[in-house]
Homo-oligomer: A and B are copies of this chain.
Amino acid sequence: MVNEQGFDLAVVGATGAVGQQMLKTLADKEFPIRSLKLLSSSRSAGKEIEFKGETLTVEEASPEQFEGVQIALFSAGGSISKKLAPEAVKRGAVVIDNTSAYRLDNQVPLVVPEVNEDALYNHQGIIANPNCSTIQMVVALEPIKKAYGLKKVIVSTYQAVSGAGLDAVDEMYEQSQQILNEEEINPQLLPVSGDKKHYQIAFNAVPQIDVFQENGYTFEEMKMINETKKILDDQALQVAATCVRLPVETGHSESVYVETEKGGATVKDLQGVLEAGAGITLQDHPETQTYPLATTSVGLPDVFVGRVRQDLDTENGYHLWVVSDNLLKGAAYNSVQIAESLVKLGLIKQ
Q: Footprint of B on A, CB under 8 Å?
A: 152, 154, 156, 158, 173, 176-177, 180, 191, 195-197, 199-200, 203-208, 212, 215-217, 225, 238-240, 242, 244, 246-249, 253, 255, 257, 267, 286-289, 291-295, 306-314, 317, 319, 321
Contacts and interface: CB of A to CB of B under 8 A. Distances in A.
A212 B158 contact: no
Nearest to A237: B313
A208 B319 contact: no
Contact of A204 (B199, B238, B295, B308): B295
Contacts of A287: 212
A239 B217 CA distance: 24
A225 B312 contact: yes
A75 to B, nearest CB: 24
A200 B246 CA distance: 15
Given A205-B158, A242-B255, A212 B289 contact: yes
Nearest to A201: B295
Given A240-B317, A242-B321, A255-B156, A289 B195 contact: yes
A257 B209 CA distance: 19
Nearest to A212: B286
Nearest to A249: B203
B248 A255 contact: no
Contact of A314 (B158, B238, B310): B238
Contacts of A200: 293, 295
Contact of A240 (B204, B217, B257): B257
Q: How many copies does the complex hold?
A: 2
Nearest to A291: B207
Nearest to A306: B207
A168 to B, nearest CB: 13
Contact of A196 (B205, B289, B313, B317): B289
Interface centre among A196, A207, A288, by most chain B C-beta atoms within 10 angstroms, is: A207
A239 B312 CA distance: 8
Contact of A293 (B206, B288, B293): B206
B312 A240 contact: yes
A216 B307 contact: yes
Nearest to A240: B311
A152 B208 contact: no
A229 to B, nearest CB: 11
Contacts of A242: 156, 255, 307, 319, 321
A255 B249 contact: no
List 3 tightest A-B contacts by C-beta distance, closest first: A156-B156, A238-B313, A156-B255
Contacts of A314: 152, 238
B203 A321 contact: no
A295 B206 CA distance: 10
28 contacts: A152-B313, A154-B257, A156-B242, A158-B246, A176-B176, A195-B289, A196-B288, A197-B288, A197-B289, A199-B289, A199-B293, A199-B295, A204-B248, A205-B248, A205-B293, A206-B293, A207-B253, A207-B291, A208-B291, A212-B287, A215-B310, A216-B308, A216-B310, A217-B312, A242-B307, A244-B253, A244-B255, A257-B257
Nearest to A317: B240
Contacts of A292: 207
Contacts of A289: 191, 195-197, 199, 208, 212
